[in-house]
């Protein structure tokens, strides 16, 4: 595809104001590596009789995280953090004491917004009433539960360590301690029927959580499923499941605001909205990525991926960066659109210039082409995908390469 970007992309970006800033913390351990998972997660070790041991040095990792955060403070000095997301892996494996130590250290070093959204990912198998009460007391105010399915056979096929009853119990516990609860579910599962998919949706909706995420199971490279693929529904069957999901969610009062995210009114995830609107985020922890803007440039950072290498690097050199580079001007339009076009409402047109520091006319040809193909709304005040654009999102995004 020919590059249709305008010659003025030779100029440097000029940001009049810096975007909102978030903090992402990566916890790289989990009890079992799922066969579909391509995230940076490492299975903790168990004793010979199958009994789980902790398998990671919590105190050492938290020390590394705090040092890692301190290296970013000079690059983000004086900026307020609007949201925190603790992802993994399974962050709920942290002890309440460890979580409290981590969040206390963060508060002592950065300026948090008064109503800062602080999300923790959790797997149903690691949910305990007393532990969740302590997490809430330490400052966690939003939990994202990796349910995936409520059906035992499907959970087994996905390599999950919990069953359907434990999934339901975990949601009940989470709702007792947190007002904001998200359920992650998958569709297009091995041998999944339309009826089975509906049963999962109906069960999820019965809990009336304010936010739901639905992902189509895909066979990612370098995963067990990629090498030993299960029998998945056909493309037509997956489309039918998706359309069914969409109808059921809409009828239950959920609005699809992003490709895979649905929320009740005003319950969207603030942290993820910042990603999709091309905001900034500090990324700390093994394998974490970050994006930091300056008045004349936008940079990305990547940390050491393996937990042991990450901690050793922090201890020996004071940082764990393996890459820190400026996003080239010619790549900025694609990086912006890659995120913004995931939102069903898109973004206001002026957001492009505000977040990239580039004039809108550098992508005028691309916008015209996307509109002519019916992938982009013709409303000049918004950069918004059409229904067709959401369905063929990859094709739409590629127009800005």
Parse the chain into domains and list their residue ranges: 7-14+295-398, 21-274
Identify the band that residue 46 occupies on the pLDDT scale cut at 50, 70 and 90: low
Angle at CA of residue 82, ends 209 and 182, nearest 5°? 15
Identify the band that residue 392 occupies on the pLDDT scale cut at 50, 70 and 90: very high
Q: Which pLDDT score is estimated for 227?
A: 87
- Region 107-132 average pLDDT: 94
Give CA–CA dist 154/192, Å, rounded.
8
Give CA–CA dist 290/313, Å, rounded.
17
In sequence order, what are the residues at sequence separation of 6 or more whose Cβ sits closer than 8 angstroms to the Cβ of residue 305? 40, 286, 287, 322
**Distance of alpha carbon 203 from the chain centroid:** 23
Q: Which pLDDT score is estimated for 45?
A: 65
Asked whether the domain spanning 21-274 has the same topology as the one spanning 7-14+295-398, the reply is no
Q: Which CATH class is domain 7-14+295-398?
A: mainly alpha
- Region 313-342 average pLDDT: 96
Looking at 38-42, 186-190, 270-274, which range is the least confident one? 38-42
Phi-psi region of 253 (alpha: psi -120 to 50; beta: other; left: phi over 0): left
Looking at 42-46, 124-128, 338-342, 353-357, which range is the least confident one? 42-46
Exposure string over 56-87, b if 16+ CB within 10 A, otherwise e: bebeebbbbbbbbbebbeebbeebebbbbbbb
Identify the band that residue 32 occupies on the pLDDT scale cut at 50, 70 and 90: confident
- Region 303-310 average pLDDT: 97
Looking at 212-226, 279-293, 300-314, 328-342, which range is the least confident one? 212-226
Looking at 36-50, 120-134, 159-173, 374-388, which range is the least confident one? 36-50
Q: Which pLDDT score is estimated for 1?
A: 45
Q: Which pLDDT score is estimated for 50?
A: 44
Which pTM was predicted? 0.93
Q: Among residues of the chain, what percentage have pLDDT more than 90?
A: 85
- Region 68-73 average pLDDT: 96
Q: Which pLDDT score is estimated for 9?
A: 59
Of the options 3.20.20.70, 1.10.3720.10, 3.10.450.50, 3.40.50.1370, the CATH number for the domain spanning 21-274: 3.20.20.70
Q: Which pLDDT score is estimated for 7?
A: 47
């Amino acid at each position: 595809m020919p590059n249709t970007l305008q010659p003025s992309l030779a100029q440097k970006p000029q940001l009049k104001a810096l975007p909102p800033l978030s903090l992402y913390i990566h916890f790289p351990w989990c009890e079992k590596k799922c066969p579909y998972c391509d995230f940076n997660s490492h299975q903790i070790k168990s004793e010979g009789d199958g009994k789980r041991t902790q398998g990671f040095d919590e105190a050492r990792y938290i020390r590394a995280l705090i040092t890692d955060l301190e290296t970013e403070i000079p690059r983000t000095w004086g900026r307020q953090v609007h949201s925190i997301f603790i992802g993994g892996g399974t962050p709920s494996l942290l002890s309440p004491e460890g979580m409290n130590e981590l969040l206390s250290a963060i508060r002592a070093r950065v300026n948090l917004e008064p109503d800062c959204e602080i999300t923790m990912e959790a797997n149903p198998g690691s949910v305990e009433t007393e532990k969740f009460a302590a997490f809430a007391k330490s400052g966690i105010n939003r939990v994202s539960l990796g349910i995936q399915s409520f059906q035992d056979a499907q959970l087994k096929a996905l390599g999950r360590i919990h069953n359907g009853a434990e999934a339901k119990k975990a949601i009940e516990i989470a709702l007792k301690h947190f007002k904001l609860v998200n359920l992650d579910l998958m569709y297009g599962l091995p041998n999944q029927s339309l009826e089975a998919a509906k049963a999962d949706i109906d069960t999820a909706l019965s809990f009336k959580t304010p936010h739901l995420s639905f992902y189509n199971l895909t066979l990612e490279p370098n995963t067990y499923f990629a090498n030993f693929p299960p029998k998945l529904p056909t493309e037509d069957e997956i489309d039918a499941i998706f359309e069914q999901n969409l109808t059921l969610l809409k009828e239950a009062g959920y609005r699809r605001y992003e490709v895979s995210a649905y929320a009740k009114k005003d319950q969207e995830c603030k942290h993820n909205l910042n990603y999709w609107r091309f905001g900034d985020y500090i990324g700390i922890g093994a394998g974490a990525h970050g994006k930091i803007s300056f008045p004349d440039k936008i940079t990305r950072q990547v940390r050491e991926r393996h937990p042991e290498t990450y901690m050793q690097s922090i201890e020996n050199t004071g940082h764990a960066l393996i890459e820190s580079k400026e996003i080239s001007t010619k790549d900025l339009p694609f990086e912006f659109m890659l995120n913004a076009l995931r939102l069903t409402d898109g973004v206001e047109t002026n957001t492009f210039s505000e977040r990239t520091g580039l004039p809108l006319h550098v992508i005028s040809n691309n916008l015209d082409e996307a509109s002519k193909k019916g992938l982009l709304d013709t409303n000049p005040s918004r950069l918004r995908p059409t229904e067709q654009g959401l369905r063929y999102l990859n094709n739409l995004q590629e127009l800005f390469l």
